[in-house]
A and B are shown apart, each in its own frame.
Chain A
Amino acid sequence: MPFEIMAALVALLVSTAVLGATLGFAMLMHRYIAINEPPPVAATTLPAGALVGQGRHLYLMN
């Protein structure tokens, strides 16, 4: 196999790994933010004990 084609295959491998790692890390961070994000400001006016929905998560007001 010619040297240039070998280099191209290595380059594609490196590129795929870097892109995959970046996208994977971003998805993890996005999920982390979604879990830890506080409820909307308007929800804080609700009485204590109320359950407030935020995406897939529920917050218990106290």
Chain B
Amino acid sequence: MHGGSTHFPIALVITSMLFDMLGYVWPAQTRRREFHAVGFYLIVGAALTSFGAVLSGLVISKWVIVGTGLTAKHHLFAWPAFALMIALATWRLITRREASRRGFAIYLAAMVLTSVLIATAGYWGGEMLIGS
């Protein structure tokens, strides 16, 4: 179950970041709003689905929160990514369209960091399953 559910937050966070980046740089105002709307719903979806991924992961690891070896490497990236996803989705839910351009740039930087963290956690998770 973890192998399936974990793909939702990974895909949704990275896609949300890409849409919000497009919304940040796109010249036309209408299209910018549309891109940001997509980014908003995707990060909220990522935060919601991350609960399923985290709980199913804890069940298969027998509720070990760090562990050793590859499990530890996976967890050391997964936990910060989970916390950041919750924080970023909450920030978006509160600010909606009222964020300044500078504030949104900081949000995007945090989204890039979250995407890197979750992709790395996914890499180590894959190594645990199919690694040599």
Q: State the CA gap A15–B86 with chains docked (Å).
A: 5
Q: Is the interface of B mostly helix, strand, loop or mixed?
A: helix
Interface residue tally for chain A (C-beta within 8 Å): 19
* A11–B88 CB distance below 8 A: yes
Which residues of A, 1-46, contact B by the 8 Å Cβ criterion?
3-4, 7-8, 10-12, 14-16, 18-19, 22-23, 26-27, 29-30, 33
Which residues of B, 83-114, contact A by the 8 Å Cβ criterion?
83-84, 86-88, 90-91, 94-95, 98-100, 103
Select A14's contact among B58, B79, B87, B100, beta carbons within 8 Å: B87
Select A11's contact among B58, B63, B87, B99, beta carbons within 8 Å: B87
* A3–B87 CB distance below 8 A: no
Chain B interface residues (CB < 8 Å from chain A): 54, 58, 62-65, 79, 82-84, 86-88, 90-91, 94-95, 98-100, 103
